[in-house]
Structure formats: structure tokens, C-alpha cells
Structure 1
């Protein structure tokens, strides 16, 4: 509104002083918005396509990032790299098209503004020389009036530019709103989860799973009835879908059909319950950039008499600063086995009904394996432990064994 009012006021003053200058500005006021509307219609379509691709491919990139371990295990890195490269090129192309339209719009506007100001300047100059008709034709044009009008013209276009910029911002916002508003207006999940709800049953029935945009099923027709407590071993060759199955059991990977159930509830409820009531140790434990004490107890203060798993003494004995040892860069100060022990200690100090461990003994020395397996067995005495591992020692102590082969369930013992 301010842009229109200021431009209108300058137009009125120009008509009052010199009608031909006012007429030139009036033509600009009509032609420039029409040009911008025409360009803006195309810009809105391009913005919509760009935002749509951004929403779509962001989900794809995030999914691939979450499942990088599975991609590596499946020896599918090169195809996924080529797939993401193609999507990235499409997104870059859409971004470039949006920038081209923005540059074209700006170039057209500046060209027409330059022409209009040049027309005003030429007219006033020729009027000053008495060549063109003016209020003082033949006597020379008043220099002060000419200079005033010539200085007013750029201000007229300055506010007109603001109006055009606001129009393009509106087109971009409308394009985004058409895609985002339906997402924002989706029904909010108000399913209530009782954290203290007793765990009575976990079952997987006819589970089929494939990653987005992939025709290959990672898991096919999986059926498992989990016990309330004890050790369940998921075994199979690399790439058989063990890690994917664990992530589904932890609620971090979504399945569409009602194939996973906690306490007889539907999949939507069950996945939310699993996220809140399961602890997860993956093959590459996460270490906070904090002290060893913080990484174990997850808080800054620790009661000196507070008990902790004895196997942590093995780590403390090697650290000069003990609990105050500062860890950084995902715990580069710790070995792979020490990271696993720290993660296992967290699970023991903050127990949940279900503990999920992905290859907890991978790349560990025999001494550390002898420490970890008994501790895992202790956890399994009063809760459900789901382990994916190649370690043969688990075969002898597991209560239930699920054998996978390239996503197919070979046996359930």
C-alpha cells in the first residue's frame, strides 16, 4: 500500500508539473505490473515444482542417511550413489530454473525502467533546448523544474520495484502454501501412550518392507512372536535384513500395514510405544561431546556412591582424568569396544522393557566379548533383549532364534 501511495503521489505531481512526463510514468505503471504478472504466473509454477521436489527429495535423502549401514551391508552403495546423484541433479536443475526466472524478471524490469527514465531525460533535455513542445516552448525549459522531475522519476520506480518484489514474494509464498498447508492441516496424531503401560506382547505378522523408491523388498513375510523377556537372536548373512528388522522393532522405521503389534494394538500405536519403551545400540555407538561421566549417567552431577557396571572400571583405569575424561568427535578417545561398553552401561542404568542391540560384539577383541555377552545375558533375565549378531556364542544362550536369508525367514526356533 505504501508503495502504491508514494508512486501515485509522484505520478500526480508529475502530471501537475508536466503532463508528458506524467504520461510516461503512467504508461510504466500499467505496463510493468502486467509484465510482472505474466512472468509471475510462470514463476509460481516453477516455485511450486521446486518446493515439491525439495520436499520429496529431502525425505529421500534423509531416508538414505538413516539407512546407510543397511546400504553398505547390502553392497548397494554405488546404485544408491547414482540414484541420489540423479535426484540431486533434478533438484539443482529446478533451483537453477527458479533463479533464471528471477534474473529474467529483474532484467526485464530494469530494462523497462532504464528506457522510461531515458525517455523522460531525453524529453526534458530537448524541451530545455526548445526542440520539443513544453510549457515554455521556444523560450527554453525551466532547468529547476526539469531537474526536479528527472530526480523524481527514479523514486517512482524505486517504490514500483518494491511492489513488484512483494508480488513475486507472494507468488513464492502461494506456491509453497499449496504444498505445505495440506501437510500442516493433516490430522495431528493425538494417540496417547502410557509409558508405564505393562508390556504383555510383541508380535510381527506377515511383515513386508521395502525402502522408498526401491522395488526390492528387504524383508518378506516375516512372522515372529517375541517372548516377554529373554534373548532373541536375529541371525543371517550380511544384507539379510537384520538391521532393518531391528529398526522396525525399535519404532524408528515405519511400516504401513498392521504387521507389528504391541499388546494387541495397531501398528501406529505400537511404533510410538516402541520408540518410547525401547533402547537401541547400533553398530556405531553415539558418544556425546562431553565427559565420560555425562556419557554414562547422562547428567552433570553424579552421586559418588552411585553404583555403575563394574566393567566400566576397565575404561576408567586407562584414563588419567577418570570420569572427567573429555570425549569429542564421537568418542575418538575410546576404542570401538569401549564405546560399546559405555552404550551398554547406559542401557543398564536406564533400563527399558525392550533392549535392541545391533552387532554388539562386532570388531571387538575376545576379552571385551567375554565381558559384554554375560552382561547382555543379565539384562535378558528381566526384559526382552533383541540381538542381531554373527557371534556364535549367542547361539548357545539365545531363548529364540530368527534366521534370515536375503529378507526371507528361514526358521524361527
Structure 2
């Protein structure tokens, strides 16, 4: 935990100047408090002596009160402003980290858990920034100023204040450890709940088809109830901590009041018939006593904010520390270049088996290559490596004379056309999902015609304005696959990475689209992950992968004569368009 607190302090370093300004405002407010309490004690002394209070004296009190109110408001506003600024910068850093991580973000968690991190856990740092950190300084400065003012009139009363003060932080730490443990469990539970709810939304269509809505809703209800119980445990410990601190501060104030009261009555055992502190000075110290313990009580109330921030930071650390590929400053060539792989084994996570064995492969510029093999053999992993998200392996892939890690990656990915097996769809019209950038109507219609989408779009009542639900709800798998292909064709690119783009279509449509692909991919470097070669005689090379290892290379005609090709054809299902 101490290491996490140190990391929090390091992250907070650029914002300390703004928070110190908040502490300065709080300190000046304490000085005005001393003047205000002294004025009240003086007025009571004057009234006790039968002397009237002038309007000028009242005006000084009003000015002190207004000044202190303004300074306290300024302290809170400044701390909230710094907190908002720091959290915005952190969210931008996390979003940039996610962008650079690409598929590697799954090492941290699913999309539901990542959404919780970006929203809930970043906001959980706010109480630590806006309340706890300034209070950590004021809890020292304010009591010292009050104790100094008290010691001027009664060193014994000042010692009494200073001796009872450590009891509050002691119990605050003891109770705060329990709150920190509960906060950490709460954050994990929230991430799991967010991930479960996202998966429910993504699989809503399948859940309806299986008529399993009641079972899923019951599971979500049970998870929500468990989360509520955990929340109550956290609140229970926070309220218990606050109650104990209030009791300790009340007892400490009572000791000071007892000493001052007995002194005014001349009943102190060591000062019989003596008044060690006059009435006006005693009243001044009695007015300050609650203010002496107020910062300690406030810090105790805010201590759970530190525990919450530590737990939130621990959940954010895996994403912040995730190794990502930053890229270099070399701009990729405007024409296709040879692509050479000389990579070590590709592990998606250290504790998992290798997705891809060490690979030696060269794809010439403008060459069109089929990547074949059973599911899980490593075909998709080769395509992912070309995207340049793996920091270490990107240094072992060359594009012409340059390593992939030396390229300006944004420009490199703009030259890529990547079509994964599962495309992402947003709730909205088909047109909105297709037009990721500005295209004219002719380009759109051409892409839809080349992907054979016009035939089913014309049958939809709203055509391109047809509204898609979550994850493309409303269209069949084959229709969504053709729309994804049309969206890919809208992007001008030199390198095409297609991962079984027509796997959900019937044999006839597959052959037709593959013929179109032959025409459209002329002059492009094409890597096509596929299970079969029907209609793909135009390919230049075939690479066969088995258990993550490149085990064979040759032409399409040679591939058809291999024993493994017949086994792949037997596994290939006879798809029919849904």
C-alpha cells in the first residue's frame, strides 16, 4: 500500500502548486478565525464589564467573518478545479494508452471493465485530490497556529490540546485500513458487474432467441444485490470511523473546558482560590478548542477517501503500466514495400501458451498470400502482428528497409485495410455505420455493389437508413459480413488484411466475392486468412500453419495436392446465407 501511495504522490506532483494555493487559503482563513474568536472573547469581556460595543468594532467582526468565508470557499473551489484538471489529464492518458494498446487491452480486462476504469475509478480519485490532500496539510498548520495562540495565554491548556490530538489520527489509521480493504473488494466487484452487463447487452439477440431473459436477469439481479451489500459494508466502516472520531474529539474538548471552568472557579487542585486564566482569555481558548480538533475530525472523515483512491489507483495501474508500441518518426513509403517477418514466439499473455511460434516469412510488395490452417493455428495472429501493437515483436518485422517499430504508426495503419472476423457495430443507421469518414454517394454505391449488399438493402423498408441494434441486431450474420466488407472497401489502402471475410456466406456468393476481390486487390499486398481455396487460383502463395507454426509454403496448385488440404475441406461447413 505504501508503494501505491508513493505512486499517487508522484502522479500528483505537477498539480501540487495549485493544491498549495488551496492550503494557503485555508491557512489564511485560520488566521482570520483567530481574530474572530479573539474579538468575540473581547466583546463578551466588555459586556461583562458593562462597556457597550461600538459599530466600528462590529464592522471588524463582519469583515473577519466575510473574509474567512471567502477564503474557505476559495480553498474548496481551487482544490476542485485542480482535481478536475488532474482527472481529465488522467482520462486522456488512459484513452491514449487504450488507443496504443489496441487488441492488447484485453490483458487488462474486457470492455466493460475498462469502461468502469475510465469513468468510475478515475472519479474515485476526486475526494483524495479535492479534500484529503489539502486537509493533510491543514491538519498540521491549523492546530499549530491555534496551539501557539493558546500557549500565549496558557501553556498547560496548549499541552492538553497537543497531548489529546494524536488519539484521533491513531484511531483514524486503525479504522481506515478496514475501509481500504473493503474499497478494494468493492472496485473489483464493480468491474465484474460492468463486464457482465456489457456482455448481456452484446448477447441480447442470442439471449432472446434462447428465451433465456429470465435467467440472465436473475443473475444480474443477484450480482447487483451482492454489490449493494458490499457498498453497505464500506459505508458501515466509514460511519463507524466518523462516530469514533467525533467521540474522541468531544471528550478532548470536554477536558479543556473542564480545566478552564475549574480555573475560573478557583477549584484547580494545584491552584486553589486562584484564577490562572482570566475570563476573556479562557473564553478565547474555549472558542478555539473545537476548531483545534475540527481539521483532525475532517481528516478522519476524509481518510476513507484516501483508501478509496489507493484502491482505485491499484485498479488503474495495470492499464497505465501496460507496454504499448509508441512507434517512431519514419513515414511509410507511398508504394507497397516487402513485408518480412523474423519474429520470436507470440504470447498474448505470459501465463498462456504461445499463439504463434517463431516465424520466418517474406511477403513481396504487391504479393497476394493465403494464410491457411485450422482454427487457432495462428493465421489471425499473423494479421494482428502487421498492425504493430506488439512492442517487442514490432521490432522484428520489417517493411522494406525499416522496422515496423520505427514507423509513424498512425500513418502506417492508415495504409492498412484490416477486416477481422467479428466487426464492430454501433446502434444507428446502416449509413452511419458505413460512413466512418466523408465519401461521395458514388463511392458508397460502388462499395455496396462490389460487396453484393445492394440486393438485400433494396429489400429493407428504409434501405441505408435502416436502424441497427446493439452488435448489428436486425441483420443476419452474412449480411453484416458483407456490410463490413463494403465498409473496408471504402478505405484506400496499400495493404489488405482480411480474416475469413466471407466465411458466413454460401459457396456461390463466396466465389463471386472472391472474383471481385481478385479484381479489386490488383497491385495491393494481400494477406487473406481462409480455410479453403475454391475460387482463389489467382493467389500468388499459400502458407499453411499448424499449431502456431508455419509448416508449409507453396502455390495454390501445390497446396491442393497436400494431405492437410483435404482435411481442411472436410472441416469446412457448407454455409447458407441466413
Flag whether TM exceeds 0.5 (same fold).
yes
**Mapped partners of 1:300, 1:112: distance in 2:** 67
Instruction: Report which stretch shifted further, 349-358 or 214-223.
Output: 214-223
1:402 maps to which residue?
Answer: 543
Instruction: Report which stretch shifted further, 232-241 or 151-160.
Output: 151-160
Secondary structure at the counterpart of residue 308 of structure 1? helix
**Mapped partners of 2:502, 2:327: distance in 1:** 39
Q: Is residue 230–residue 381 contact of structure 1 (8 Å, CA) maintained in 2?
A: no
Deviations, residues 163-192 of structure 1 (Å, cap 9, x unaligned): 7879x96xx89xx8xx99xx89x9x95722
In 2 relative to 1, CA 315–265 (structure 1 residues): closer, same or farther, beyond 3 Å?
Answer: same
2:417 maps to which residue?
Answer: 279
Secondary structure at the counterpart of residue 220 of structure 1? coil
The CA deviation at 1:147 is 6.5
The CA deviation at 1:210 is 1.6
User: What aligned pairs does 1:179-218 form with structure 2 within 5 A after superposition?
Assistant: 191-194=328-331, 197-214=334-351, 216-218=353-355
**Mapped partners of 2:454, 2:498: distance in 1:** 22
Q: Is residue 252–residue 275 contact of structure 1 (8 Å, CA) maintained in 2?
A: no
User: What aligned pairs does 1:158-173 form with structure 2 within 5 A after superposition?
Assistant: 158-160=294-296
The CA deviation at 1:390 is 1.3
The CA deviation at 1:281 is 0.9
Deviations, residues 342-365 of structure 1 (Å, cap 9, x unaligned): 221122221211111112122333
Secondary structure at the counterpart of residue 446 of structure 2? coil
**Mapped partners of 1:256, 1:305: distance in 2:** 36
Deviations, residues 347-388 of structure 1 (Å, cap 9, x unaligned): 222121111111212233345424432232223222122111
Larger RCO, structure (CA 8 Å, separation 6 or more): 1
**Mapped partners of 1:24, 1:243: distance in 2:** 72
**Mapped partners of 1:347, 1:257: distance in 2:** 24
**Mapped partners of 2:168, 2:533: distance in 1:** 77
1:89 maps to which residue?
Answer: none
Secondary structure at the counterpart of residue 200 of structure 1? coil
Q: Does residue 516 of structure 2 align to residue 375 of structure 1?
A: yes
**Mapped partners of 2:151, 2:326: distance in 1:** 61
Q: Is residue 204–residue 225 contact of structure 1 (8 Å, CA) maintained in 2?
A: yes
In 2 relative to 1, CA 405–131 (structure 1 residues): closer, same or farther, beyond 3 Å?
Answer: same
**Mapped partners of 2:423, 2:243: distance in 1:** 53
Deviations, residues 180-232 of structure 1 (Å, cap 9, x unaligned): 9xx89x9x957224255322211112542122323632222322211322431
In 2 relative to 1, CA 313–395 (structure 1 residues): closer, same or farther, beyond 3 Å?
Answer: closer
Q: Is residue 357–residue 388 contact of structure 1 (8 Å, CA) maintained in 2?
A: yes
**Mapped partners of 1:29, 1:374: distance in 2:** 83
Give the alignment partner of residue 412 of structure 1, picking from 535, 548, 553: 553
Larger fraction in helix: 2
User: What aligned pairs does 1:77-88 form with structure 2 within 5 A after superposition?
Assistant: none
User: What aligned pairs does 1:20-99 form with structure 2 within 5 A after superposition?
Assistant: 20-28=156-164
The CA deviation at 1:316 is 1.6
The CA deviation at 1:323 is 1.9
1:76 maps to which residue?
Answer: none
**TM-score normalized by the length of structure 2:** 0.51
Q: Is residue 172–residue 245 contact of structure 2 (8 Å, CA) maintained in 1?
A: no
User: What aligned pairs does 1:259-274 form with structure 2 within 5 A after superposition?
Assistant: 259-269=396-406, 272=409, 274=412
The CA deviation at 1:145 is 7.1
In 2 relative to 1, CA 257–400 (structure 1 residues): closer, same or farther, beyond 3 Å?
Answer: same
Give the alignment partner of residue 116 of structure 1, picking from 252, 262, 265: 252
1:250 maps to which residue?
Answer: 387
In 2 relative to 1, CA 16–207 (structure 1 residues): closer, same or farther, beyond 3 Å?
Answer: closer
The CA deviation at 1:131 is 4.2
Q: CA RMSD in A?
A: 4.9
Which structure 2 residue ranges, 5 or more long, are not aligned? 1-22, 28-137, 189-194, 200-233, 555-578
Q: Is residue 329–residue 408 contact of structure 2 (8 Å, CA) maintained in 1?
A: no
Deviations, residues 130-177 of structure 1 (Å, cap 9, x unaligned): 6435988479998887666444222112234567879x96xx89xx8x
Instruction: Report which stretch shifted further, 194-203 or 228-237.
Output: 194-203
1:385 maps to which residue?
Answer: 526
**Mapped partners of 1:372, 1:356: distance in 2:** 16
2:288 maps to which residue?
Answer: 152
Which structure 1 residue ranges, 5 or more long, are not aligned? 55-60, 66-98
The CA deviation at 1:325 is 1.9
Instruction: Report which stretch shifted further, 307-316 or 230-239.
Output: 307-316
2:49 maps to which residue?
Answer: none
Q: Is residue 337–residue 400 contact of structure 2 (8 Å, CA) maintained in 1?
A: yes
Tell me the number of residue pairs that the alignment of Structure 1 and Structure 2 aligns: 361
Q: Is residue 457–residue 463 contact of structure 2 (8 Å, CA) maintained in 1?
A: yes
Q: Does residue 431 of structure 2 align to residue 293 of structure 1?
A: yes
Secondary structure at the counterpart of residue 330 of structure 1? helix
**Mapped partners of 1:276, 1:269: distance in 2:** 16
The CA deviation at 1:120 is 2.0
Q: Does residue 493 of structure 2 align to residue 352 of structure 1?
A: yes
In 2 relative to 1, CA 22–319 (structure 1 residues): closer, same or farther, beyond 3 Å?
Answer: same
**TM-score normalized by the length of structure 1:** 0.68
**Mapped partners of 1:233, 1:388: distance in 2:** 6
Instruction: Report which stretch shifted further, 141-150 or 395-404.
Output: 141-150
Q: Is residue 168–residue 248 contact of structure 2 (8 Å, CA) maintained in 1?
A: yes
1:219 maps to which residue?
Answer: 356
The CA deviation at 1:392 is 3.9
In 2 relative to 1, CA 307–254 (structure 1 residues): closer, same or farther, beyond 3 Å?
Answer: same
Q: Is residue 191–residue 269 contact of structure 1 (8 Å, CA) maintained in 2?
A: yes
**Mapped partners of 1:262, 1:271: distance in 2:** 12
Q: Is residue 425–residue 471 contact of structure 2 (8 Å, CA) maintained in 1?
A: yes
User: What aligned pairs does 1:130-141 form with structure 2 within 5 A after superposition?
Assistant: 131-133=267-269, 137=273
